Amino acid sequence: MQTSPYALPFERYRELLDQEYAALSDLVQPTLDRPVPACPGWNGEDLVRHTAIVFLQKAETIRTGTRPSHGWPPVSVGSLPPQPLLAHCYTRLVEEFDAHPTSDPAETWVPEDQTVGFWVRRLTHETAIHRVDLEQAAGRSVRPLDPALVIDGIDEVLTVMLGRGRPDPAASGDVARLEAGGHSWDVRLSPQRATVQRDAEVDGRTAVACDPEQLFLWLWGRTAAPGVVPAAATELRSRLARAL
């Protein structure tokens, strides 16, 4: 694969994607009827079917050059049981990943990053989060995430996922500072768009400072807040919840 513009080499994203998919797949049968705490109203089957369709949609986006719309998703996928459906869609996805240079064009919502590599990174994080979802549905302890993927995931949720949200006329304009793993992110909550500054100097602003995995999972709404959270960080979490 080509040189990665992200924190991890593309080869490492693919390794972690396969690992997270295998762990997710092992959790399908025990959680089909179990409620998913982070996704109110969904059980494990709902989450598995959602994840499978995301995989398939991105495979089609890469294969055809544009996001599928009419007649999507295919009616035929609804007839497959959850486990075979997930396996089929994942196979389609990684076939497309491995058939294309990561610099090949692929439609995304980030104007400056319209590449296959965007989806390699994005779906590694997506799969990891949904693995956590099924572990929580099964009542199991969350298996630790790869430390480098966690730091990259904090950055990705702030610089990629937060950007999916709509403008917020009621935004305060304040800055939420987050610190973890020797890195920091200052997120300015402007009405039109939240912007992120990485590793800015400390200026006395109260920060959310905690273990990287706890911060990552809190930003995704998968664990409780790390202690007392400043108002700006609470606003950031609410804005993220509307974007995810």
Q: What phi and psi values does residue 241 have, to the nearest 5 degrees?
A: -60, -35
pLDDT for 1? 57
Give the CATH number of domain 147-243.
3.30.1050
Cβ atoms within 10 A of the Cβ of 10, count? 21
pLDDT tens sequence for the chain (244 residues): 578 889 999 999 999 999 999 999 999 999 999 999 999 999 999 999 999 999 999 999 999 988 898 878 888 888 899 999 999 999 999 999 999 999 999 999 999 999 999 999 999 999 999 999 999 999 999 999 999 999 999 999 999 999 998 999 999 999 999 999 999 999 999 999 999 999 998 888 899 999 999 999 999 999 999 999 999 999 999 999 999 9
Could you tell me whether strands 194-198 and 183-189 are parallel, antiparallel, or unpaired per DSSP bridges?
antiparallel
Q: What is the DSSP letter of 161?
A: I
Q: What are the extents of the domains in the chain?
A: 10-137, 147-243
pTM for the whole thing? 0.95
User: Quick check: 224 and 179 in contact, CB under 8 A?
Assistant: no
Which two three-digit tokens encode residue 212?
């990287």
Q: Which of 19, 6, 4 is nearest to 151 (CA)?
A: 6
Selecting from 1.10.10, 1.20.120, 1.25.40, 1.10.3470, what CATH number does the domain 10-137 have?
1.20.120
Q: What phi and psi values does residue 212 have, to the nearest 5 degrees?
A: -55, -45
pLDDT for 73? 84
pLDDT for 77? 83
- Count CA within 13 A, CB hemisphere, residue 138: 21
Q: What is the number of residues in the chain?
A: 244
